[in-house]
Amino acid sequence: MEKTKILIIEDDAEISRLTAMYLEVEGFDTKVINDGSTAISAIQSYAPDLIILDLMLPGLSGIEICKQARNFYFGAIIVLTACNDDVSEISLLKLGADDFLTKPLKPHVLVARIGALMRRVQSQQVKSVKTKHSRLNINLDNQQVTFDGIELNLTGRI
């Protein structure tokens, strides 16, 4: 089974080093970026399953990275911040973050949140798979069923 790829975008060298080290021990594949200006290209080239994104970064802020990344990146984003207020949390979630953690990080909580997000993402990926069995084709994305190429009109009632 392929390891979950996590991109850590954090300018504090000690936090990023310890986070990467802990996640690698837990079985994740990690890459660290310490500058906001290289974050977008790193997301595109590394294609992570999950991003851990600090808010306060040199170059490009975490908020701007989150906004830009959501134009092409559909994986999970966990935002890290030193701020602990509802307004920041709500704003980040509206901008596309999937979860929000305050510093200092508790590594076991981070791993639990990553696990929860990855389960959700993976279950959505399974649901979007088209199922085909000989003459029957089931497309869960658009909720269409065809038999020998003829669309069947099904209802939600049993």
User: In this predicted model, what pLDDT tens digit does every residue of 33-91 receive, in sequence order?
Assistant: 999 999 999 999 999 999 999 988 999 999 899 999 999 998 999 998 887 666 667 77
Q: Are residues 135 and 95 in the same domain?
A: no
Residue 14, pLDDT above cutoff 70: yes
User: In this predicted model, what pLDDT tens digit does every residue of 103-157 receive, in sequence order?
Assistant: 888 999 999 999 999 988 776 654 445 555 678 777 766 667 888 888 888 766 5
Q: Are residues 114 and 49 in the same domain?
A: yes
Q: Are residues 68 and 102 in the same domain?
A: yes
Q: Are residues 98 and 136 in the same domain?
A: no
Q: Are residues 32 and 69 in the same domain?
A: yes
Q: Are residues 120 and 133 in the same domain?
A: no
- The torsion of the CA quartet 13, 36, 22, 124, rounded to 10 degrees, works out to 170
Q: Are residues 52 and 95 in the same domain?
A: yes
Q: Are residues 144 and 103 in the same domain?
A: no
pLDDT for the residue 127: 47
Q: Are residues 23 and 90 in the same domain?
A: yes
Q: Are residues 82 and 149 in the same domain?
A: no
Q: Domain range for residue 151?
A: 129-158
Confidence of residue 24 (pLDDT cuts 50, 70, 90): very high
CATH number at residue 65: 3.40.50.2300
Q: Are residues 56 and 46 in the same domain?
A: yes
Give the count of domains, the chain: 2
